[in-house]
Amino acid sequence: MSRRCELTGKGPMTGNNVSHAKNRTRRRFLPNLNDVTLASETLGQTYKFKISAAALRTVDHRGGLDAFLAKAKDAELSDKALKVKKDIAKATAAA
């Protein structure tokens, strides 16, 4: 399973460990991913996502999963999140 946020696309970055003697060795900075269950008010259903802690704060700030996905760019979303976004768009268009 890839270490990538399903909502923001945030993934691992690379850099250096730097010792006191300035010796540099390569390392990876991994995103803080959490398994969360988010509820869609429009669809009345819950969805499981693997998202970063920063994305979870952003979802709360924007007012829930539906509002977050409405503003999110399609290129950043995973296939699963993109399907949920399209289902929400269909439901709001029908209502």
Alpha-carbon distance of 55 to 33, in angstroms, equals: 9
Render pLDDT for 59-86 as a digit per residue (tens, 0 to 9). Answer: 999 999 999 999 999 999 999 999 999 9
Residue 88 has pLDDT above 70, yes or no: yes
How confident is the model over 6-44, as pLDDT tens digits? 999 999 999 999 999 999 999 999 999 999 999 999 999
Contacts of 58 (CB under 8 A, 6+ apart): 8, 68
What structural domains and CATH numbers belong to the chain?
Answer: 13-94 (2.30.170.40)
pLDDT in the model for residue 51: 97
Q: In the prediction, which pLDDT does 1 show?
A: 61
